[in-house]
Every structure is written in C-alpha cells, then in structure tokens.
Amino acid sequence: MHPNRLKLRGIFIYGLVSSMYSPVEPEQGFNFKPEPPTSSAYYRLLKKLRRQVGHAIRDFKMIEDGDKVMVCISGGKDSYTLLDILLQFKRIAPINFDVVAVNLDQKQPGFPEDVLPRYLEENNIPYYILEKDTYSITKKLTPEGKTYCAVCSRLRRGSLYGFAQEIGATKVALGHHRDDILATFFLNLFHGGSLKAMPPKLLSSDKKNILIRPLAYVEEKDIIKYAEMRQFPIIPCNLCGSQDNLQRAIINDMLRDWDKAHPKRLHSIFGALQNVSPSQLADRELFDFEVLDSQREFDFKGSCSTEEAVEGENRRINMVNLGFALD
C-alpha cells in the first residue's frame, strides 16, 4: 500500500499519514498563484467568468464566511474551471473560506492516476483522492442497452457526499454550468413530463449536505475557451456520456444548434427559469385555482332595471334565433 494511502470503508484516501482526514497540502501552505496567459482575450474572458460566478454566489448565497468548500473535481474542463475560479476568489474575496479538491477515482480502464495529483501539487492545492471501483459496479448493474447515468450518479453521490461529512465540508461545489442546467430542463420536459432542472443551490435528499453550482450562469463555450487558454490537463471520461444515442447528448446538440442560429435564445430560456408564474401554468400543487372564485370582485358598471335587463336578454335571444333562421 502507498505510504500516504489509507483505506476507509472500501474507499482509499490519499492524505498525510498523521491524520486520516488531512488532505495533501504543500509545506508552504496555501499559495495558489497560477501563471495565466497574458493575452487581452484571456483577461476579458476571466473578467466575465469571475463576474458570472460572483453573481451566482451572491444571488444564491452559496459561500459564506468560514465555509469549507469541497470541490468535486473529475479532471474535466468544468471542474478544473470551477476549482480555478474559486481558488482565485479565496485569494481576493473579502470573506475567509477554505477550498479543498476531492477526486473520486472510479477505476476506469486507462484512467491516468498521476495527472490530477501532479496538477494539484504543482499548484499548491490541498486535495484528497478517493478510490472506489464504481466503474465495475455500474457496468454490472446496468442492463444491456440502458444508460449508465442513473447508477453511476448514485454511486458517485453516495461516496462524495458521505466523505464531505467526514471532513467537515459545509458546502459541496459541483461543476455543472448553465448549459447543463438547460439540458436537464429539456430532458425532464421531453422525457420526464416535468418542469424541473438543476438548481444552483440544493439541500441533499438526506438533508446533510448543501450542494452549490457556482458555474450556474456560465456558458459551456466560455468554459471550453478558458480551459484551452489555461491548458488544464483534461482527463477524458469513457463512462458518463460516452454511450451512443444518449438523450443528453442529443439535447446538447440541439442547444448548440439553437445557439448558432439564435444566439440569444438560450439566454432567454435560462431567464425563464428565473421568472416562473405558477398561476399561468397548470400545477394545482403550486397554485390554488379553486380559490379564484372567492377572490373575484364584482364591479358591474352602469345601472339598469330588471325590466331593461330582461328586455336586453330577449333582444339577444331574438338575434340568436334570427341567426339560425338565416341558415
């Protein structure tokens, strides 16, 4: 066994031997000062990402003073970008909060185990690597022809959320961006028969973890550009999203086509998710339609006698009868 690897409930944890729950940390402490590109395009994009992430954190009160934020990092462009931006905020924000990176090594064939530890150590980022063979379990439990997503997601959530409690993390940060939220919305709309997406902030089903998505306002194409500029060591995934005819992939293609043909459409749809009118839908749980009768206000303008009303009604009936006579 690796000298800095400990086993806990079937999960291997890389950390300092002195403490089971201590992340790998550089001797000089937190010293995240990346050497970014120097182009004006990079700084414009960085400013945009910081603004959008900052607004999401503010709007949904994602991070507060004294928080310990566990960033789930997979080795993909989204989680790299999330970790990078949050570490920059840690350095410049007016509040104090801690950031620790956690990767779940799912034992995928060909997964380069050295890439993430090397990147995190070179950038002086405290981290944990959890090892759990969810890959084999997912392949075993998923019937032929079915997608891996449901089983894979449950296993990952169970491992990561449980570990967040073990290390005392007050928030669990996930790398889902705006386009992920929209794709989930349309998946539920087209295939689930429900109007729901991914909330920017969520209480886990067991009510023990607060999940946040600081990239909720960020477009995927901006993340792609940023990852390329920062030259993150991207690790491809051959499990989640790798199957043929995956509905999420089809939805993502639809969103990209819309974005090319109608650049403001996705922005408008996301805005709709923030501007919901239950009274204009048909969900009886969200809006009490039965109470409308009791709220009605009668305000008949003008006055007329009963005889006039009857005469008017007769005139209307005669006009209707006349219409039938013409037929």
Q: How far apart, in Å, are the Cα atoms of 74 and each of 112, 113, 155, 234?
A: 12, 11, 14, 9
- If pLDDT is split at 50, 70 and 90, which confidence band does 313 have? low
Within a domain: 109: yes
Q: Sorting pLDDT into bands at 50, 70 and 90, what band is 1?
A: very low
Q: Is residue 120 part of a domain?
A: yes
Model pLDDT, residue 9 = 36
Give the residue with greater pLDDT, 300 vs 82: 82
Mean pLDDT of 252-263: 96
Q: Which residues of 100-124 are buried (b: 16+ CB within 10 A; e: fewer)?
A: bbbbbbbebeebeeeebeebbeebb
Place of tokens 């043929």: 244
What's 260's domain CATH number?
Answer: 3.40.50.620
Mean pLDDT of 200-228: 96
Q: Regarding predicted confidence, which is higher, 87 or 312? A: 87
Cα–Cα separations (whole angstroms), residue 239 to 150, 151, 177, 283, 296: 12, 11, 20, 37, 56
Distances (CA, A) of 149 to 81, 154, 179, 273: 23, 8, 18, 24
166-203 per-position pLDDT tens digit = 999 999 999 999 999 999 999 999 999 999 999 999 99
DSSP 3-state assignment of 102?
strand
Domain carrying residue 180: 5-280
pLDDT, tens digit (0-9, with 9 covering 90-100), for 26-76 = 555 555 555 667 789 999 999 999 999 999 999 999 999 999 999 999 999
Length of the chain: 327
Q: Tokens in use for 103?
A: 């990767």
Q: Is 245 within a domain?
A: yes
Q: Confirm whether 244 is domain-assigned.
A: yes
Maximum C-alpha span of the chain:
100
- The reported pTM is 0.81
Q: What's the mean pLDDT in 312-320? A: 58
Per DSSP, 317 falls in state: H
Rg (CA), the chain: 27
Note whether residue 192 is domain-resident.
yes
- Determine, yes or no, domain membership for 307: no
- The 8-class DSSP code of residue 320 comes to H
Query: Between β-strands 127-131 and 5-8, what pairing exists: parallel, antiparallel or unpaired?
Result: unpaired
- Spell out where the chain has E strands: 5-8, 11-14, 68-72, 98-105, 127-131, 171-173, 201-203, 210-212
- Digit-coded pLDDT (tens) for 6-29: 434 334 444 433 334 566 665 555
Q: pLDDT tens across 270-307, in order?
A: 999 999 999 999 999 999 999 999 999 887 665 555 55
Q: Is the pLDDT of residue 153 over 80?
A: no
Tokens, residue 69: 């934020």
The domain tally of the chain equals: 1
Average pLDDT over the chain reads 83
Among residues 82, 79, 108, 117, the alpha carbon closest in space to that of 242 is found at 108
- The pLDDT confidence band at residue 133, using thresholds 50, 70 and 90, is confident
Residue 94 lies inside a defined structural domain of this protein: yes
**Torsion on CA atoms 40, 45, 49, 55, rounded to nearest 10:** 80
Give the pLDDT of residue 142.
72
Report the C-alpha gap between 299 and 301 in whole angstroms.
6
Q: And the tokens for 155?
A: 């296993």
β-strands 11-14, 98-105: how paired?
A: unpaired
